[in-house]
Amino acid sequence: MGRKDASTSRTPVDQYRKQIGKQDYKKTRPMLRATRLKAEAKKTALGVKEVALVLAAILVFLLAFYAFFYLNVSNEVDLDQDPDEN
């Protein structure tokens, strides 16, 4: 009677995962901890996109604030003068 090959019942993905698992097992604990911490830091770090969006929002707010006061001061009429005096 023929013996069934155990590797044929596994999918290639399972074989690949097993191979990766063996490679990770060979690593020392400090290396695994450093890799995990690096991945967590990368996940929680602020990206350039978020920082740029915040700076752009602040800039738009300041420009709107400046424009509001610039238009109010430039359109202000001097109440001490009579408009017919000029």
What pLDDT, on a 0 to 100 scale, did the predictor assign at position 41?
81
Q: Classify residue 3 as exposed, middle or buried by CB count within 10 Å of its CB (0-12, 13-18, 19+).
A: exposed
Confidence of residue 67 (pLDDT cuts 50, 70, 90): very high
Cβ atoms 38, 46 nearer than 8 A: no
Cβ atoms 16, 24 nearer than 8 A: no
Kindly state the average pLDDT of the residues 35-56: 85
Average pLDDT of the chain is 78
Question: Who wins on pLDDT, 59 or 41?
Answer: 59
d(CA 51, CA 71): 30
Q: Going by C-beta distance under 8 Å and a sequence separation of 6 or more, which residues neighbour residue 10?
A: 18
Confidence of residue 8 (pLDDT cuts 50, 70, 90): low
Is residue 52 over pLDDT 80?
yes
